[in-house]
Amino acid sequence: MEAVVGNKKRSKGGLAISKGRFVLGVTIPLLLYEALGIFILGWAFALIFFDYSSGRVGGPFLGLGGSNPFVGLGHFVEMFSGTSVKASLFRMSLKNTLIFAFAILPLNLVVTLSLAYLLESIGNRFKALYRTIYFLPVLTSSVGVALIWMSMYDPQAGWINAIIRFFGGTPVSWLSDPRAGFLGVPVAMWAVILAYLWQDYGYNMVIFIAALQNIPQELKDAALIDGASPWQTFTRITIPLIQPTLLFVCVMTMLSSFQVFDIIQVMTNGDPGNKTQVLMLDIYKNAFRYQNLGWAAAESFVLFLIVMGVTIFQMRVLRTDWEY
């Protein structure tokens, strides 16, 4: 009997050791990875307070100080009240980013929700086909999308101008005319917004389709019996019931819009006259072209604060405290 108990104890101890080893084996790599992430974030945060350039040796500790001097909050003061070229470029980039993000969000919602509603109303036979077609641009690389739209926008050989010429209109230099605009926004910005929207809408559409499919049919039937029109059903039944999804889509769309980079870099690189230069592009240029890593880190921090603020606002406005 004692021998059996002893074996049980030994085997239990062995299991505990194995568990411990397993936990360590799984946790240590993760912790090391996290530590690296924390170091990178900490490093970026430290750079905010220095006029740091990778071309200068600087002080003995991580190159901070010396020829990479401490500037405190100087970058932020310069950004919002300075007269230097990098300050004016920052302000213009911030304005362009806000225009881009606040134009994309409503357009994206209108297009994706309408399409999702439309697809939900057609027969199952074609549903999968259309869903695939609409989702394909999401799978395409941004560079490829940019090149396709650039060829369409080409002032001389693009088919958009070809159609305008066919109807006797005046062709437009879509991506390089700083004078042309619509609703106070340069036409080049609208051109980029349209390309981005085309690439991105399939993602939200699929999410909305899933949300629409989860709405109980009884609720719609009840509304129909009560004499609600299709529009009333949509606005008073569908929209409130997909509000959690709407919140998710709004937050994710805003996040990705504020971080837009590749499609703009390829299509315009910020031209004409920096009218399409967004914050991510300005951060990239400052960090890797002009070596102003401290300034770029400060810009990134501002972008982080803006995105966080907008996200919190959206979550407060669109949050729900019920489930169905």
Partner 1 sequence: MKKLLFVLVLASLLITACGGGAAEPAAESPAADAPASGEKTMVRMWAHTNNSFIAGYEALIAAYEAGHPDVDIQLEHFDYELYLQTLQTSMPAGEEADIIQLFGTWTSQYHERLAPVPANVMILEQARETFYAAPIGGYEVDGVLYGFPQEFNMEYGGVLVNKTKFEAAGLTYPPEWKTMDDVLADAKALAQKDEAGMQSVAGFHFTAADPTWASFLAGIKQRGGDYWNADRTGFTFNTPEARAQLQWMMDAVNAGVVDPVVFNDSTNFVIDAFFQGKVGIGYIGTWAIAEGQTNFPDFADEWDYVYLPPTQGEPVFVADSGWGLTVSPNSKHQDVAWDFVKFVTADPKNAAQWNIASGTIPAMPAVAQAPEIAEAMPWVPKALDSLPYGEYLGTMPDRDLVMYEIIYPHILNALQGVETVDQALEAIDAEANSTFE
In one letter, which amino acid is 245? T
Tokens of 147: 């090149």
Choice between 144 and 309, CB closer to partner 1: 144
Tokens of 25: 């084996």
Closest approach, Cβ 188 to partner 1, in A, equals 10
Tokens of 322: 């019920």
Closest approach, Cβ 41 to partner 1, in A, equals 12
Choice between 54 and 229, CB closer to partner 1: 54
Binding site for partner 1 (CB under 8 A): 20, 23-24, 27-28, 31-32, 35-36, 38-39, 43, 53-58, 61-63, 67, 83-86, 88-89, 155-156, 161, 164-165, 169-171, 173, 175-179, 268-269, 271-274, 285, 287-291, 293
Closest approach, Cβ 289 to partner 1, in A, equals 6
In one letter, which amino acid is 68? N
- Alpha carbon 226 to its chain's center: 41
Choice between 162 and 222, CB closer to partner 1: 162
Choice between 133 and 163, CB closer to partner 1: 163
> Which DSSP string do the residues of 99-129 spell out, in sequence order?
HHHHHHHHHHHHHHHHHHHHHHHS-HHHHHH
CB within 8 Å of 278: residues ≥ 6 apart: 93, 96, 97, 100, 260, 261, 264, 270
Choice between 178 and 244, CB closer to partner 1: 178
Q: Which helix (H) or strand (E) holds 188?
A: helix 187-213
Choice between 176 and 233, CB closer to partner 1: 176
Closest approach, Cβ 213 to partner 1, in A, equals 44
Closest approach, Cβ 40 to partner 1, in A, equals 9
Closest approach, Cβ 270 to partner 1, in A, equals 9
Closest approach, Cβ 84 to partner 1, in A, equals 4
Tell me the C-alpha distance between 311 and 306, whole Å. Answer: 8
Closest approach, Cβ 263 to partner 1, in A, equals 14
DSSP letter assigned to residue 65: B
Choice between 254 and 287, CB closer to partner 1: 287
Helix axes 85-121, 124-139, angle to 10 degrees: 170
Choice between 93 and 245, CB closer to partner 1: 93
Tell me the C-alpha distance between 146 and 264, whole Å. Answer: 8
Burial track 46-82 (b if 16+ CB lie within 10 A, e otherwise):
ebbbbbbbeeeebeeeebbeeebbebeebbbebbeeb
